[in-house]
Chain A
Amino acid sequence: MSVRGIGQLLAEHPFFAGLDDDVLALLVGCATNAHYSAGDALFRGGTPADQFFVIRSGRVAIELVAPGRHPLVVETADAGEVVGWSWLVAPYQWFGDGKAVEETSVIALDGACLRGKCEADPNVGFQLLTRVTHVMYDRLQATRVRLLDLYGTPRAVSD
Protein backbone atom coordinates (compact mmCIF):
# COMPACT_ATOMS: atom_id res chain seq x y z
CA MET A 1 0.00 0.00 0.00
CA SER A 2 1.43 3.39 -0.90
CA VAL A 3 0.54 6.50 1.01
CA ARG A 4 0.24 9.44 -1.29
CA GLY A 5 1.76 12.61 0.00
CA ILE A 6 -0.31 15.76 0.47
CA GLY A 7 1.54 17.29 -2.44
CA GLN A 8 0.30 14.57 -4.74
CA LEU A 9 -3.24 14.82 -3.42
CA LEU A 10 -3.23 18.56 -4.05
CA ALA A 11 -1.81 18.12 -7.53
CA GLU A 12 -4.65 15.71 -8.37
CA HIS A 13 -7.33 18.11 -7.16
CA PRO A 14 -9.13 20.06 -9.92
CA PHE A 15 -8.68 23.39 -8.07
CA PHE A 16 -4.90 23.22 -8.46
CA ALA A 17 -4.90 22.00 -12.05
CA GLY A 18 -2.20 23.77 -14.04
CA LEU A 19 -0.49 25.24 -10.98
CA ASP A 20 3.32 25.44 -11.28
CA ASP A 21 5.01 22.57 -9.45
CA ASP A 22 7.19 24.89 -7.38
CA VAL A 23 4.24 26.95 -6.28
CA LEU A 24 2.41 23.79 -5.31
CA ALA A 25 5.40 22.68 -3.28
CA LEU A 26 5.27 25.96 -1.36
CA LEU A 27 1.60 25.50 -0.56
CA VAL A 28 2.13 22.00 0.75
CA GLY A 29 3.83 23.62 3.68
CA CYS A 30 0.48 25.12 4.70
CA ALA A 31 -1.54 21.93 4.30
CA THR A 32 -2.77 19.20 6.63
CA ASN A 33 -5.17 16.30 6.17
CA ALA A 34 -8.46 16.28 8.03
CA HIS A 35 -11.46 13.95 8.28
CA TYR A 36 -14.97 14.66 9.45
CA SER A 37 -17.91 12.46 10.28
CA ALA A 38 -21.46 13.26 9.26
CA GLY A 39 -22.69 16.25 11.26
CA ASP A 40 -19.23 17.50 12.31
CA ALA A 41 -18.62 21.23 12.09
CA LEU A 42 -15.76 22.46 9.93
CA PHE A 43 -16.23 26.06 11.01
CA ARG A 44 -18.72 28.35 12.74
CA GLY A 45 -19.89 31.73 11.57
CA GLY A 46 -18.34 34.65 13.42
CA THR A 47 -15.18 32.76 14.39
CA PRO A 48 -11.71 33.47 12.97
CA ALA A 49 -11.48 32.19 9.41
CA ASP A 50 -8.06 30.80 9.04
CA GLN A 51 -8.58 27.81 6.83
CA PHE A 52 -9.18 27.02 3.20
CA PHE A 53 -10.68 23.59 2.61
CA VAL A 54 -9.95 21.47 -0.43
CA ILE A 55 -12.51 18.66 -0.53
CA ARG A 56 -11.29 15.22 -1.48
CA SER A 57 -14.43 13.22 -0.77
CA GLY A 58 -17.81 13.65 0.87
CA ARG A 59 -19.92 16.80 1.07
CA VAL A 60 -19.73 20.08 3.01
CA ALA A 61 -22.82 22.26 3.54
CA ILE A 62 -22.66 26.02 4.13
CA GLU A 63 -25.51 27.17 6.37
CA LEU A 64 -26.77 30.57 7.38
CA VAL A 65 -28.78 31.25 10.50
CA ALA A 66 -31.17 34.10 11.14
CA PRO A 67 -32.80 34.58 14.56
CA GLY A 68 -36.14 32.85 14.74
CA ARG A 69 -35.51 30.86 11.61
CA HIS A 70 -34.46 27.34 10.89
CA PRO A 71 -30.88 27.31 9.56
CA LEU A 72 -30.75 27.32 5.77
CA VAL A 73 -28.28 25.44 3.60
CA VAL A 74 -27.23 27.92 0.92
CA GLU A 75 -24.50 25.94 -0.78
CA THR A 76 -22.92 22.51 -0.79
CA ALA A 77 -19.49 21.55 -2.04
CA ASP A 78 -18.49 18.05 -3.08
CA ALA A 79 -15.32 16.20 -3.96
CA GLY A 80 -13.25 18.26 -6.36
CA GLU A 81 -14.53 21.56 -5.00
CA VAL A 82 -13.26 24.01 -2.38
CA VAL A 83 -14.75 25.92 0.55
CA GLY A 84 -13.73 29.17 2.20
CA TRP A 85 -12.40 32.49 1.10
CA SER A 86 -12.91 34.51 4.26
CA TRP A 87 -9.21 33.96 4.99
CA LEU A 88 -8.49 36.39 2.16
CA VAL A 89 -10.42 39.41 3.41
CA ALA A 90 -9.97 41.15 6.79
CA PRO A 91 -11.26 40.68 9.49
CA TYR A 92 -10.78 37.06 8.38
CA GLN A 93 -14.00 35.76 9.91
CA TRP A 94 -16.26 32.97 8.76
CA PHE A 95 -19.63 34.21 7.53
CA GLY A 96 -21.68 31.01 7.68
CA ASP A 97 -21.40 27.60 9.32
CA GLY A 98 -19.62 24.77 7.55
CA LYS A 99 -20.80 21.22 8.28
CA ALA A 100 -19.88 17.82 6.96
CA VAL A 101 -23.05 16.25 5.59
CA GLU A 102 -21.47 12.82 5.35
CA GLU A 103 -18.04 11.22 5.87
CA THR A 104 -15.76 13.90 4.42
CA SER A 105 -12.03 14.05 3.77
CA VAL A 106 -10.36 17.38 3.16
CA ILE A 107 -7.00 19.00 2.92
CA ALA A 108 -7.05 22.07 5.12
CA LEU A 109 -4.65 24.92 4.23
CA ASP A 110 -3.80 27.40 6.95
CA GLY A 111 -4.97 30.90 6.08
CA ALA A 112 -2.17 32.87 7.73
CA CYS A 113 0.38 30.60 6.10
CA LEU A 114 -1.21 31.10 2.69
CA ARG A 115 -1.36 34.89 3.14
CA GLY A 116 2.33 34.86 4.07
CA LYS A 117 3.29 32.94 0.92
CA CYS A 118 1.23 35.31 -1.23
CA GLU A 119 2.82 38.41 0.30
CA ALA A 120 6.30 36.95 -0.08
CA ASP A 121 5.87 36.06 -3.72
CA PRO A 122 3.31 37.93 -5.85
CA ASN A 123 3.41 35.18 -8.45
CA VAL A 124 2.17 32.68 -5.87
CA GLY A 125 -0.47 35.21 -4.88
CA PHE A 126 -1.59 35.70 -8.44
CA GLN A 127 -1.90 32.02 -9.26
CA LEU A 128 -3.80 31.26 -6.07
CA LEU A 129 -6.09 34.27 -6.30
CA THR A 130 -6.91 33.61 -9.97
CA ARG A 131 -8.31 30.25 -8.98
CA VAL A 132 -10.15 31.58 -5.94
CA THR A 133 -11.65 34.36 -8.04
CA HIS A 134 -12.95 31.81 -10.50
CA VAL A 135 -14.71 29.94 -7.74
CA MET A 136 -16.19 33.16 -6.35
CA TYR A 137 -17.34 34.18 -9.83
CA ASP A 138 -19.19 30.90 -10.35
CA ARG A 139 -20.73 30.96 -6.88
CA LEU A 140 -21.80 34.61 -7.13
CA GLN A 141 -23.37 34.12 -10.53
CA ALA A 142 -25.20 31.02 -9.34
CA THR A 143 -26.40 32.88 -6.26
CA ARG A 144 -27.62 35.81 -8.38
CA VAL A 145 -29.55 33.44 -10.63
CA ARG A 146 -31.20 31.97 -7.56
CA LEU A 147 -32.25 35.50 -6.61
CA LEU A 148 -34.41 35.45 -9.73
CA ASP A 149 -36.32 32.75 -7.87
CA LEU A 150 -37.07 31.09 -11.18
CA TYR A 151 -38.95 28.25 -9.56
CA GLY A 152 -40.93 30.54 -7.31
CA THR A 153 -44.51 31.74 -7.62
CA PRO A 154 -44.68 34.33 -10.40
CA ARG A 155 -45.49 37.87 -9.36
CA ALA A 156 -47.34 40.22 -11.70
CA VAL A 157 -45.01 42.80 -13.24
CA SER A 158 -46.51 46.25 -13.57
CA ASP A 159 -46.28 47.76 -17.03
Chain B
Amino acid sequence: MRTQLRETDTSPNFTSRGFRLCFVGYGCVRVVAMHDGSVAIDVAGLQRLLDVLVERGHTVIGPTVRDGAVIHAPISSVAELPSGARDTQAPGHYRLTQDGDARLFAFAAAAQSWKPFLMPSRQPLHSVTSDGTVTAAEPAPISYAFLGVRSCDLAAIGVHDRVLLDRQVVDQHYAARRRTAFIVAITCSHPGGTCFCTSMGTGPSPTQGYDLAMTELLDDAGHRFVFTAGSPDGEEVLAQLPSREVTTADTAAAAEVVAGSVAVMAPRVLNTDGIRNLLYDNPDHSRWDDVASRCLSCTNCTLVCPTCFCVTVDDSTDLLGTTERSTVWDSCFTAGHSYLHGGAVHDGTRERYRQWLTHKFASWIDQFGTSGCTGCGRCVTWCPAGIDVLEELQALREPGGEP
Protein backbone atom coordinates (compact mmCIF):
# COMPACT_ATOMS: atom_id res chain seq x y z
CA MET B 1 0.00 0.00 0.00
CA ARG B 2 1.38 3.36 -0.94
CA THR B 3 1.32 5.84 1.89
CA GLN B 4 1.23 9.57 1.83
CA LEU B 5 1.80 11.92 4.72
CA ARG B 6 -0.30 15.02 4.88
CA GLU B 7 -0.16 17.90 7.32
CA THR B 8 -3.71 18.73 8.19
CA ASP B 9 -4.36 21.47 10.62
CA THR B 10 -6.96 23.52 8.79
CA SER B 11 -9.93 21.43 9.80
CA PRO B 12 -10.87 21.13 13.45
CA ASN B 13 -10.68 17.34 13.40
CA PHE B 14 -9.61 16.13 16.77
CA THR B 15 -8.21 18.34 19.44
CA SER B 16 -4.67 17.27 18.84
CA ARG B 17 -1.72 18.29 16.83
CA GLY B 18 -1.84 15.39 14.46
CA PHE B 19 -1.21 14.34 10.95
CA ARG B 20 -3.04 12.20 8.46
CA LEU B 21 -1.51 9.00 7.21
CA CYS B 22 -3.16 8.10 3.96
CA PHE B 23 -3.08 4.71 2.29
CA VAL B 24 -3.69 5.34 -1.37
CA GLY B 25 -6.88 3.68 -2.46
CA TYR B 26 -7.71 2.67 1.08
CA GLY B 27 -8.40 5.72 3.17
CA CYS B 28 -6.74 7.81 5.79
CA VAL B 29 -6.22 7.40 9.50
CA ARG B 30 -5.37 10.17 11.83
CA VAL B 31 -2.24 9.58 13.85
CA VAL B 32 -1.83 11.51 17.03
CA ALA B 33 1.67 11.91 18.28
CA MET B 34 1.86 9.68 21.34
CA HIS B 35 3.56 11.10 24.32
CA ASP B 36 5.68 9.16 26.69
CA GLY B 37 4.92 9.25 30.33
CA SER B 38 1.85 7.26 31.18
CA VAL B 39 0.87 7.85 34.78
CA ALA B 40 -1.34 6.10 37.26
CA ILE B 41 -4.19 7.96 38.91
CA ASP B 42 -6.52 6.80 41.67
CA VAL B 43 -10.23 7.40 42.09
CA ALA B 44 -9.62 10.65 43.97
CA GLY B 45 -7.49 11.70 41.03
CA LEU B 46 -10.34 10.87 38.72
CA GLN B 47 -12.57 13.24 40.69
CA ARG B 48 -9.85 15.87 40.37
CA LEU B 49 -9.98 15.29 36.60
CA LEU B 50 -13.68 16.08 36.57
CA ASP B 51 -13.06 19.21 38.63
CA VAL B 52 -10.25 20.40 36.35
CA LEU B 53 -12.43 19.87 33.29
CA VAL B 54 -15.22 21.92 34.88
CA GLU B 55 -12.73 24.63 35.78
CA ARG B 56 -11.70 24.74 32.13
CA GLY B 57 -15.28 25.49 31.20
CA HIS B 58 -16.38 22.05 30.04
CA THR B 59 -19.70 20.39 30.67
CA VAL B 60 -18.61 16.90 31.63
CA ILE B 61 -20.64 14.07 30.11
CA GLY B 62 -20.09 10.60 31.45
CA PRO B 63 -21.79 7.26 31.89
CA THR B 64 -24.40 6.94 34.60
CA VAL B 65 -27.26 4.59 35.36
CA ARG B 66 -30.79 5.72 34.60
CA ASP B 67 -33.95 3.70 34.00
CA GLY B 68 -32.09 0.40 34.09
CA ALA B 69 -29.45 1.28 31.55
CA VAL B 70 -26.07 2.96 31.32
CA ILE B 71 -26.55 6.28 29.53
CA HIS B 72 -24.41 9.37 28.92
CA ALA B 73 -25.42 12.44 30.92
CA PRO B 74 -23.83 15.48 32.59
CA ILE B 75 -21.98 14.41 35.74
CA SER B 76 -19.86 16.24 38.25
CA SER B 77 -18.84 13.52 40.65
CA VAL B 78 -17.33 10.05 40.36
CA ALA B 79 -20.12 8.94 42.67
CA GLU B 80 -22.44 9.27 39.68
CA LEU B 81 -20.44 6.77 37.66
CA PRO B 82 -21.89 3.23 37.31
CA SER B 83 -19.84 1.63 40.09
CA GLY B 84 -20.48 -2.11 40.18
CA ALA B 85 -22.77 -2.07 37.17
CA ARG B 86 -22.52 -4.99 34.78
CA ASP B 87 -24.50 -5.27 31.54
CA THR B 88 -25.65 -8.27 29.57
CA GLN B 89 -26.24 -7.53 25.91
CA ALA B 90 -27.64 -9.83 23.23
CA PRO B 91 -29.80 -9.38 20.15
CA GLY B 92 -32.86 -7.49 21.36
CA HIS B 93 -31.71 -7.79 24.96
CA TYR B 94 -30.16 -5.44 27.53
CA ARG B 95 -30.03 -6.06 31.27
CA LEU B 96 -28.12 -4.22 33.95
CA THR B 97 -27.11 -5.72 37.28
CA GLN B 98 -25.35 -4.19 40.23
CA ASP B 99 -23.35 -7.17 41.39
CA GLY B 100 -19.93 -6.22 40.15
CA ASP B 101 -16.86 -5.02 42.00
CA ALA B 102 -16.00 -1.36 42.51
CA ARG B 103 -14.97 -0.77 38.92
CA LEU B 104 -16.59 2.30 37.47
CA PHE B 105 -16.50 1.46 33.75
CA ALA B 106 -16.98 -2.32 33.62
CA PHE B 107 -19.70 -2.43 30.98
CA ALA B 108 -19.90 -2.35 27.19
CA ALA B 109 -21.60 0.18 24.93
CA ALA B 110 -23.96 2.52 26.74
CA ALA B 111 -27.50 2.86 25.39
CA GLN B 112 -26.48 5.86 23.31
CA SER B 113 -23.16 6.98 21.90
CA TRP B 114 -21.78 10.49 22.00
CA LYS B 115 -23.74 11.44 18.86
CA PRO B 116 -26.57 13.15 20.81
CA PHE B 117 -24.02 15.67 22.06
CA LEU B 118 -21.95 16.33 18.95
CA MET B 119 -24.85 16.04 16.53
CA PRO B 120 -27.96 16.78 18.63
CA SER B 121 -31.28 15.41 17.52
CA ARG B 122 -32.57 18.92 16.79
CA GLN B 123 -30.23 21.58 15.47
CA PRO B 124 -31.56 25.05 14.67
CA LEU B 125 -30.15 26.41 11.40
CA HIS B 126 -31.74 29.80 10.93
CA SER B 127 -34.87 31.83 11.38
CA VAL B 128 -36.70 33.84 8.73
CA THR B 129 -39.14 36.65 9.41
CA SER B 130 -42.25 37.11 7.33
CA ASP B 131 -40.54 39.86 5.30
CA GLY B 132 -37.68 37.54 4.36
CA THR B 133 -34.95 38.57 6.79
CA VAL B 134 -32.76 35.56 7.44
CA THR B 135 -30.78 35.14 10.66
CA ALA B 136 -28.41 32.20 10.89
CA ALA B 137 -28.34 30.39 14.24
CA GLU B 138 -25.11 30.87 16.17
CA PRO B 139 -23.29 27.69 17.15
CA ALA B 140 -24.16 26.77 20.74
CA PRO B 141 -21.57 28.15 23.16
CA ILE B 142 -21.09 24.80 24.85
CA SER B 143 -17.91 22.91 25.41
CA TYR B 144 -18.14 19.23 26.28
CA ALA B 145 -15.75 16.89 27.99
CA PHE B 146 -16.57 13.24 27.33
CA LEU B 147 -15.50 10.84 30.05
CA GLY B 148 -15.10 7.19 29.08
CA VAL B 149 -15.27 7.16 25.29
CA ARG B 150 -14.80 3.55 24.16
CA SER B 151 -12.69 2.94 21.07
CA CYS B 152 -15.71 1.97 18.97
CA ASP B 153 -17.36 5.29 19.78
CA LEU B 154 -14.08 7.12 19.31
CA ALA B 155 -13.77 5.62 15.84
CA ALA B 156 -17.38 6.64 15.21
CA ILE B 157 -16.52 10.24 16.05
CA GLY B 158 -13.73 9.95 13.51
CA VAL B 159 -16.24 8.63 10.98
CA HIS B 160 -18.53 11.58 11.64
CA ASP B 161 -15.56 13.92 11.19
CA ARG B 162 -15.20 12.55 7.66
CA VAL B 163 -18.93 12.89 6.95
CA LEU B 164 -19.58 16.29 8.49
CA LEU B 165 -16.29 18.15 8.21
CA ASP B 166 -14.40 16.70 5.28
CA ARG B 167 -16.90 17.57 2.53
CA GLN B 168 -17.77 20.25 0.03
CA VAL B 169 -19.88 21.87 2.72
CA VAL B 170 -18.94 21.75 6.42
CA ASP B 171 -21.52 21.26 9.15
CA GLN B 172 -20.69 24.39 11.14
CA HIS B 173 -22.58 23.36 14.26
CA TYR B 174 -20.87 19.98 14.44
CA ALA B 175 -17.53 21.72 13.81
CA ALA B 176 -18.04 24.08 16.72
CA ARG B 177 -18.95 21.30 19.16
CA ARG B 178 -16.12 19.16 17.91
CA ARG B 179 -13.53 21.89 18.19
CA THR B 180 -14.24 22.48 21.87
CA ALA B 181 -14.79 18.87 22.89
CA PHE B 182 -12.27 17.24 25.26
CA ILE B 183 -12.15 13.48 24.93
CA VAL B 184 -11.16 11.07 27.68
CA ALA B 185 -11.11 7.67 26.03
CA ILE B 186 -11.13 4.34 27.85
CA THR B 187 -9.92 0.87 27.03
CA CYS B 188 -12.88 -1.46 26.94
CA SER B 189 -12.55 -4.04 29.70
CA HIS B 190 -15.98 -5.71 29.50
CA PRO B 191 -17.15 -6.05 25.91
CA GLY B 192 -20.79 -7.02 25.54
CA GLY B 193 -22.48 -9.88 23.76
CA THR B 194 -23.23 -7.90 20.63
CA CYS B 195 -20.16 -5.86 19.86
CA PHE B 196 -17.36 -6.72 17.41
CA CYS B 197 -14.81 -3.90 17.31
CA THR B 198 -12.00 -6.39 16.70
CA SER B 199 -13.58 -7.36 13.38
CA MET B 200 -13.89 -3.69 12.36
CA GLY B 201 -10.37 -2.74 13.44
CA THR B 202 -11.70 -0.20 15.91
CA GLY B 203 -10.71 -1.56 19.30
CA PRO B 204 -10.74 -2.56 22.09
CA SER B 205 -7.93 -0.11 22.71
CA PRO B 206 -8.21 3.55 21.73
CA THR B 207 -5.19 4.41 19.59
CA GLN B 208 -5.80 7.91 18.24
CA GLY B 209 -8.01 10.95 18.38
CA TYR B 210 -8.26 11.49 22.13
CA ASP B 211 -6.94 14.06 24.57
CA LEU B 212 -6.55 11.52 27.35
CA ALA B 213 -6.88 7.76 27.34
CA MET B 214 -7.28 5.58 30.41
CA THR B 215 -7.38 1.94 31.35
CA GLU B 216 -9.17 1.01 34.56
CA LEU B 217 -7.40 -1.49 36.81
CA LEU B 218 -8.67 -3.10 40.01
CA ASP B 219 -6.51 -5.74 41.65
CA ASP B 220 -4.24 -6.28 44.63
CA ALA B 221 -2.35 -3.12 43.73
CA GLY B 222 -5.52 -1.12 44.16
CA HIS B 223 -8.17 0.69 42.11
CA ARG B 224 -6.39 2.93 39.65
CA PHE B 225 -6.36 4.25 36.11
CA VAL B 226 -3.38 4.24 33.77
CA PHE B 227 -3.54 7.53 31.88
CA THR B 228 -1.85 8.60 28.66
CA ALA B 229 -2.09 12.02 27.06
CA GLY B 230 -2.85 12.23 23.36
CA SER B 231 -2.70 15.99 22.80
CA PRO B 232 -1.21 19.17 24.25
CA ASP B 233 -4.56 19.88 25.97
CA GLY B 234 -4.47 16.39 27.41
CA GLU B 235 -0.94 16.91 28.68
CA GLU B 236 -1.93 20.16 30.33
CA VAL B 237 -4.84 18.55 32.14
CA LEU B 238 -2.85 15.47 33.14
CA ALA B 239 -0.20 17.67 34.72
CA GLN B 240 -2.81 19.02 37.12
CA LEU B 241 -3.82 15.60 38.44
CA PRO B 242 -2.22 13.86 41.40
CA SER B 243 -0.46 10.81 39.98
CA ARG B 244 2.35 8.38 40.36
CA GLU B 245 4.62 6.68 37.91
CA VAL B 246 3.33 3.63 36.14
CA THR B 247 4.89 0.34 37.29
CA THR B 248 5.62 -2.71 35.17
CA ALA B 249 2.78 -4.41 37.02
CA ASP B 250 0.43 -1.64 35.92
CA THR B 251 1.55 -2.02 32.32
CA ALA B 252 1.13 -5.79 32.42
CA ALA B 253 -2.31 -5.49 33.95
CA ALA B 254 -3.37 -2.96 31.33
CA ALA B 255 -2.17 -5.26 28.56
CA GLU B 256 -4.16 -8.09 30.11
CA VAL B 257 -7.30 -5.97 30.01
CA VAL B 258 -6.89 -5.60 26.27
CA ALA B 259 -6.10 -9.26 25.76
CA GLY B 260 -9.07 -10.24 27.88
CA SER B 261 -11.43 -8.09 25.83
CA VAL B 262 -10.10 -9.47 22.56
CA ALA B 263 -10.67 -12.99 23.89
CA VAL B 264 -14.24 -12.23 24.94
CA MET B 265 -15.06 -11.00 21.45
CA ALA B 266 -13.31 -13.88 19.71
CA PRO B 267 -16.47 -15.92 18.99
CA ARG B 268 -18.14 -12.92 17.43
CA VAL B 269 -16.42 -12.33 14.11
CA LEU B 270 -17.58 -10.46 11.04
CA ASN B 271 -15.88 -11.51 7.83
CA THR B 272 -15.28 -8.19 6.07
CA ASP B 273 -13.50 -9.71 3.06
CA GLY B 274 -15.06 -8.36 -0.11
CA ILE B 275 -18.00 -7.04 1.85
CA ARG B 276 -18.47 -4.09 -0.45
CA ASN B 277 -18.93 -6.23 -3.54
CA LEU B 278 -20.95 -8.77 -1.56
CA LEU B 279 -23.58 -6.12 -0.89
CA TYR B 280 -23.35 -4.41 -4.29
CA ASP B 281 -23.71 -7.71 -6.14
CA ASN B 282 -26.68 -9.04 -4.22
CA PRO B 283 -29.53 -6.52 -4.34
CA ASP B 284 -32.02 -9.30 -5.13
CA HIS B 285 -30.82 -11.89 -2.61
CA SER B 286 -33.67 -13.73 -0.92
CA ARG B 287 -32.26 -12.78 2.48
CA TRP B 288 -33.60 -9.26 2.02
CA ASP B 289 -37.15 -10.65 1.94
CA ASP B 290 -36.34 -12.79 4.93
CA VAL B 291 -35.08 -9.92 7.08
CA ALA B 292 -37.95 -7.74 5.88
CA SER B 293 -40.36 -10.26 7.36
CA ARG B 294 -38.75 -9.68 10.78
CA CYS B 295 -37.76 -6.01 10.68
CA LEU B 296 -40.36 -3.64 12.10
CA SER B 297 -38.89 -0.51 10.48
CA CYS B 298 -38.91 0.95 13.97
CA THR B 299 -35.71 3.00 13.33
CA ASN B 300 -34.14 2.02 16.68
CA CYS B 301 -30.95 0.91 14.97
CA THR B 302 -30.43 4.22 13.22
CA LEU B 303 -31.17 6.13 16.43
CA VAL B 304 -28.55 4.31 18.50
CA CYS B 305 -25.99 3.94 15.71
CA PRO B 306 -23.08 6.31 16.36
CA THR B 307 -22.36 6.86 12.68
CA CYS B 308 -25.84 7.30 11.18
CA PHE B 309 -26.15 10.93 10.14
CA CYS B 310 -29.36 11.36 8.14
CA VAL B 311 -31.39 14.40 9.06
CA THR B 312 -34.56 15.92 7.78
CA VAL B 313 -35.37 19.62 7.71
CA ASP B 314 -38.20 20.95 9.81
CA ASP B 315 -39.83 24.35 9.37
CA SER B 316 -41.73 25.68 12.36
CA THR B 317 -43.62 28.95 11.98
CA ASP B 318 -44.98 31.05 14.85
CA LEU B 319 -48.08 33.23 14.85
CA LEU B 320 -46.11 36.29 13.75
CA GLY B 321 -44.87 34.45 10.68
CA THR B 322 -41.31 33.87 11.79
CA THR B 323 -40.08 30.46 10.70
CA GLU B 324 -37.36 28.57 12.47
CA ARG B 325 -35.67 25.92 10.37
CA SER B 326 -33.91 23.06 12.11
CA THR B 327 -32.40 19.76 11.13
CA VAL B 328 -33.86 16.79 12.96
CA TRP B 329 -32.59 13.22 13.11
CA ASP B 330 -34.15 11.09 10.41
CA SER B 331 -33.93 7.44 9.44
CA CYS B 332 -33.79 5.63 6.12
CA PHE B 333 -36.37 3.25 7.58
CA THR B 334 -39.13 5.84 7.32
CA ALA B 335 -41.43 6.07 4.31
CA GLY B 336 -40.72 9.78 4.05
CA HIS B 337 -36.97 9.35 3.72
CA SER B 338 -37.09 8.50 0.02
CA TYR B 339 -40.38 10.21 -0.77
CA LEU B 340 -40.58 11.29 -4.40
CA HIS B 341 -43.56 12.23 -6.52
CA GLY B 342 -46.28 10.75 -4.38
CA GLY B 343 -44.47 7.60 -3.30
CA ALA B 344 -41.31 6.26 -1.72
CA VAL B 345 -38.43 5.09 -3.88
CA HIS B 346 -37.63 2.67 -1.08
CA ASP B 347 -41.18 1.43 -1.07
CA GLY B 348 -41.03 -1.29 1.55
CA THR B 349 -39.09 -2.66 4.50
CA ARG B 350 -37.09 -4.86 2.17
CA GLU B 351 -35.77 -1.87 0.21
CA ARG B 352 -35.12 0.12 3.39
CA TYR B 353 -33.21 -2.59 5.22
CA ARG B 354 -31.18 -3.19 2.08
CA GLN B 355 -30.43 0.54 1.85
CA TRP B 356 -29.32 0.73 5.48
CA LEU B 357 -27.11 -2.35 5.51
CA THR B 358 -25.61 -1.64 2.09
CA HIS B 359 -24.87 1.96 3.03
CA LYS B 360 -23.35 1.06 6.37
CA PHE B 361 -21.03 -1.70 5.14
CA ALA B 362 -20.49 -0.95 1.44
CA SER B 363 -21.47 2.43 -0.03
CA TRP B 364 -19.85 4.16 2.95
CA ILE B 365 -16.48 2.82 1.83
CA ASP B 366 -16.85 4.46 -1.59
CA GLN B 367 -18.21 7.65 -0.07
CA PHE B 368 -15.85 8.17 2.84
CA GLY B 369 -12.98 5.72 2.57
CA THR B 370 -13.86 3.60 5.61
CA SER B 371 -16.62 1.29 6.73
CA GLY B 372 -19.60 3.04 8.29
CA CYS B 373 -19.66 0.49 11.11
CA THR B 374 -17.36 0.59 14.15
CA GLY B 375 -18.68 -2.57 15.76
CA CYS B 376 -20.38 -1.09 18.83
CA GLY B 377 -23.22 -3.61 18.64
CA ARG B 378 -25.99 -1.20 19.62
CA CYS B 379 -28.12 -1.91 16.53
CA VAL B 380 -28.16 -5.55 17.57
CA THR B 381 -28.87 -4.95 21.26
CA TRP B 382 -31.62 -2.42 20.72
CA CYS B 383 -33.44 -4.14 17.85
CA PRO B 384 -36.81 -5.26 19.20
CA ALA B 385 -36.83 -8.05 16.63
CA GLY B 386 -33.36 -9.20 17.65
CA ILE B 387 -31.90 -8.87 14.18
CA ASP B 388 -28.13 -9.33 14.18
CA VAL B 389 -26.27 -7.62 11.34
CA LEU B 390 -23.50 -10.22 11.57
CA GLU B 391 -26.02 -12.96 10.87
CA GLU B 392 -27.58 -11.04 8.02
CA LEU B 393 -24.23 -10.31 6.39
CA GLN B 394 -23.15 -13.92 6.74
CA ALA B 395 -26.43 -15.09 5.20
CA LEU B 396 -25.79 -12.90 2.16
CA ARG B 397 -22.69 -14.97 1.49
CA GLU B 398 -24.88 -18.04 1.06
CA PRO B 399 -26.47 -18.62 -2.34
CA GLY B 400 -29.83 -16.98 -2.53
CA GLY B 401 -31.16 -15.98 -5.91
CA GLU B 402 -34.68 -14.73 -6.56
CA PRO B 403 -37.07 -15.91 -3.80
Task: Consider the complex of A and B and state whether they touch directly, i.e. have CB atoms less than 8 Å apart.
Answer: yes
Contact B344 A159 (CB under 8 A): yes
* A141-159 interface bits toward B, Cβ cutoff 8 Å, 1 = contact, 0 = none: 0000000000000111101
| CB-nearest residue of chain B to A150 | B341
Bound state CA distance, A156 and B343, in angstroms?
A: 5
The smallest beta-carbon distance between A82 and chain B, in angstroms, is: 36
Contact A159 B348 (CB under 8 A): yes
If over half of A's interface residues share one DSSP class (helix, strand or loop), that class is named, otherwise mixed; here it is loop
Which residues of chain B from 128 to 172 have any CB-CB distance to chain A below 8 Å in the complex?
none
The residues of B that contact A154 with a CB separation of less than 8 Å are: 341-343
| CB-nearest residue of chain B to A156 | B342
The smallest beta-carbon distance between B295 and chain A, in angstroms, is: 14
The residues of A that contact B343 with a CB separation of less than 8 Å are: 154, 156-157
Q: Say whether B347 faces chain A, with CB atoms less than 8 Å apart.
A: yes
The smallest beta-carbon distance between B254 and chain A, in angstroms, is: 52
In this complex, how many residues of chain B approach chain A with their Cβ under 8 Å: the count is: 7
| CB-nearest residue of chain A to B348 | A159
Q: Say whether B270 faces chain A, with CB atoms less than 8 Å apart.
A: no
Which residues of chain A from 42 to 63 have any CB-CB distance to chain B below 8 Å in the complex?
none
Contact A159 B347 (CB under 8 A): yes
| CB-nearest residue of chain B to A155 | B342
The smallest beta-carbon distance between B64 and chain A, in angstroms, is: 39
The residues of A that contact B341 with a CB separation of less than 8 Å are: 154
The smallest beta-carbon distance between B238 and chain A, in angstroms, is: 55
Q: Say whether B335 faces chain A, with CB atoms less than 8 Å apart.
A: yes
The residues of B that contact A159 with a CB separation of less than 8 Å are: 335, 344, 347-348
The residues of A that contact B344 with a CB separation of less than 8 Å are: 157, 159
Bound state CA distance, A154 and B335, in angstroms?
A: 16
* A90-110 interface bits toward B, Cβ cutoff 8 Å, 1 = contact, 0 = none: 000000000000000000000
Interface positions of B (Cβ within 8 A of A): 335, 341-344, 347-348
Interface positions of A (Cβ within 8 A of B): 154-157, 159
14 contacts between A and B (CB under 8 A): A154-B341, A154-B342, A154-B343, A155-B342, A156-B342, A156-B343, A157-B342, A157-B343, A157-B344, A157-B347, A159-B335, A159-B344, A159-B347, A159-B348
A-B pairs, 10 with minimum CB distance: A154-B342, A157-B343, A154-B341, A156-B342, A155-B342, A159-B335, A157-B342, A156-B343, A157-B347, A154-B343
